[in-house]
Amino acid sequence: MSLELYIDPTPSLDPGRAYTPLFETGGEYARALQGLAGHDRLLARLPVSIFLEIHSYEALERMRDLMRQEPDPAAPWWMPFWPASLFDACGVVSHPALELQGLFPEFARTTLRLRHAQDYERAARDWLFRPRLSVPDYERSVLRFAESLGWEVIHP
> What is the Cα–Cα distance from 9 to 135, expressed in whole angstroms?
12
Phi/psi at 97 (5° precision): -60, -40
Query: Residues, the chain, total?
Result: 156
> How confident is the model over 78-125, as pLDDT tens digits?
999 999 999 999 999 889 999 999 999 989 999 999 999 999 988 888
Q: Around Cβ 126, how many Cβ atoms within 10 Å?
A: 16
> What is the Cα–Cα distance from 57 to 151, expressed in whole angstroms?
22
> What is the Cα–Cα distance from 82 to 4, expressed in whole angstroms?
14
Which residues form the domain of 129?
4-154
The pLDDT value recorded for residue 17 is: 76
Average the pLDDT over 57-62 and give the result: 90
CATH at residue 69: 3.40.50.300
The pLDDT value recorded for residue 41 is: 81
Q: What is the rounded average pLDDT for all residues in the chain? A: 86
The pLDDT value recorded for residue 14 is: 67
> What is the Cα–Cα distance from 32 to 74, expressed in whole angstroms?
29
- Whether residue 87 contacts residue 140, with contact meaning beta carbons closer than 8 Å, is answered with no
